[in-house]
């Protein structure tokens, strides 16, 4: 039922950022945007984002599809409400935590959000209106890096870099699947192929054969990003 892209954006801003509806006399409304969003999250958690529809959400709530349109103009706005509901706000930084500890905790929390709601990876791509809770994730990173010699754009870029790392690893984990899944078995087959063709891919085969922990890309990448930020902060301090 949504119209143009601009109308959809305006509707989404109103739903996410507008003041809450003032209470009126009489019985409370049977539905609320929050309740509708929660039902959408329930569907997406169980069946994926592609399974979400106004019809299915209405059925889960035991209402007609048309009744939902009184609260949510269309699916695009519904998904925006679902994202805001599922992602929540990041936890407040621990007392006396330095910027590196804050960003490490932030990345772990975002990883947990994607693990609990894998469909968020699909729902949070491309240009879109974000809500106050989701914007708080950006606020946490920018605030943690404030006062350390980085420019505003650099602090914003650091947040993008961290989020991109978390997203990339979360997407790989989703694609790989749990142990024993067809995806995991396929990766095991790939390892066998590499060993059989070690003469052609000696560097990869040697790296895979070395002892030590594997599947540590999240921690390794996060530490290198933070090391890079630390080096930049130290350089700026020296220049000052």
Residues 207-217, mean pLDDT to the nearest whole number = 74
pLDDT band at 210 (very low <50, low <70, confident <90, very high): confident
At 1 the pLDDT is 44
pLDDT digits (tens, 9 = 90+) for 12-65: 999 999 876 555 555 567 899 999 999 999 999 999 999 999 999 999 999 999
Residues 68-82, mean pLDDT to the nearest whole number = 94
Which structure tokens are listed for 213? 């922990």
Alpha helices in the chain, H assignment, sequence order? 5-17, 33-47, 54-61, 65-68, 75-87, 99-116, 120-123, 132-145, 152-176, 182-196, 202-209, 217-239
Q: How far, in Å, are 27, 151, 177 from residue 171 at the CA level?
A: 45, 30, 10
Q: Which residue has the tokens 């929390």?
A: 109
Which structure tokens are listed for 134? 């989701």
Could you tell me which of 87, 90, 118, 107 has the C-alpha nearest to residue 160?
107
Give the global pTM: 0.85
pLDDT digits (tens, 9 = 90+) for 111-120: 999 999 999 9
- 3-class DSSP string for 44-55: HHHHCHHHCCHH
Distance in angstroms (rounded) separating the CA atoms of residues 66 and 207 = 58
């Amino acid at each position: 039922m949504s119209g143009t892209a601009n109308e959809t954006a305006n509707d989404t801003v109103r739903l996410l950022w507008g003041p809450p509806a003032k209470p009126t006399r009489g019985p409370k409304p049977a539905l609320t945007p929050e309740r509708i969003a929660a039902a959408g999250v329930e569907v997406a958690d169980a069946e994926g984002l592609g399974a979400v529809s106004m019809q299915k959400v209405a059925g889960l709530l035991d209402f007609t599809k048309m009744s939902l349109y009184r609260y949510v103009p269309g699916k695009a706005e519904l998904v925006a409400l679902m994202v805001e509901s599922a992602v929540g706000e990041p936890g407040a930084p621990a007392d006396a935590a330095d910027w590196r500890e804050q960003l490490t905790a932030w990345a772990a929390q975002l990883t947990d959000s994607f693990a609990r709601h894998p469909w968020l990876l699909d729902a949070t791509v491309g240009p879109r209106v974000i809500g106050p809770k989701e914007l708080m994730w950006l606020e946490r990173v920018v605030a943690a890096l404030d006062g350390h010699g980085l420019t505003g754009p650099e602090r914003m870029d650091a947040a993008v870099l961290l989020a991109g790392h978390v997203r990339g690893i979360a997407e790989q984990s989703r694609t790989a699947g749990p142990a024993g899944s067809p995806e995991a078995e396929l990766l095991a087959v790939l390892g066998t192929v590499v060993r059989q063709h070690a003469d052609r891919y000696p560097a990869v085969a040697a790296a895979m054969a070395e002892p030590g922990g594997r599947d540590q890309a999240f921690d390794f990448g996060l530490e290198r990003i933070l090391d890079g930020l630390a080096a930049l902060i130290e350089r700026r301090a020296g220049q000052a």
